[in-house]
Chains A and B, each alone.
Chain A
Amino acid sequence: DGGITQSPKYLFRKEGQNVTLSCEQNLNHDAMYWYRQDPGQGLRLIYYSQIVNDFQKGDIAEGYSVSREKKESFPLTVTSAQKNPTAFYLCASTGGDTEAFFGQGTRLTVV
């Protein structure tokens, strides 16, 4: 079945650590996105990529990094520079139509 997969579902980070969230899609979509969602809030765009080997900062890119070496994969690294990383992270992709397909999310907690 086609879809978008995020892993892990839950992730714990110690202070000062970098962690990487995985996002894989088999929908053959060109565009991929990372959003952050805080409790009871909407989605804020972190980074997005329209094509392999290219990506752009969203509204809250500071403290995050991404790569897009393959069309299917768009991993997000939460660096130690992100001072408040505890949140729910959502990955999405879009094809020719702008309807977005979302993964099930990764809940990151700082311990």
Chain B
Amino acid sequence: SQQGEEDPQALSIQEGENATMNCSYKTSINNLQWYRQNSGRGLVHLILIRSNEREKHSGRLRVTLDTSKKSSSLLITASRAADTASYFCATDPVYNTDKLIFGTGTRLQVFP
């Protein structure tokens, strides 16, 4: 029962452009997290935003959270070819704190 759905499924941009990915979820959450996965590798945690936060920054990453719309966005500014990867959101649901629920991911391709 996946809770998170990312949009778009795939995104192709040029180096230097900004990349925006969106995540929608279904139930109340404690926090929402974004992860990155390089092809054939494990996931790496990028950033966590709590339900009482609206925006968070980490380097070139900006995450927003709108709990009224049950949605989040991840913005990568001034993208680089090395940012090419899949990006997943994961929610920590209030109803079940035992596990994270991952979305379907956005595949980002950044062309040099």
Chain A residues within CB distance 8 Å of chain B: 6, 31, 33, 35, 40-45, 48, 50, 56, 58-59, 88, 90, 92, 94, 97-105, 107
Contacts and interface: CB of A to CB of B under 8 A. Distances in A.
Given A42-B104, A98-B31, A59 B44 contact: no
A58 B99 contact: yes
Interface of B: 1-2, 4, 30-31, 33, 35, 40-45, 48, 88, 90, 92, 97-105, 107
A81 to B, nearest CB: 22
Given A42-B102, A50-B98, A99 B42 contact: no
B105 A42 contact: yes
A102 to B, nearest CB: 4
Main secondary structure of the interface of A (DSSP, over half): strand
Contacts of B45: 99-101
Contacts of A92: 42-43
B30 A98 contact: yes
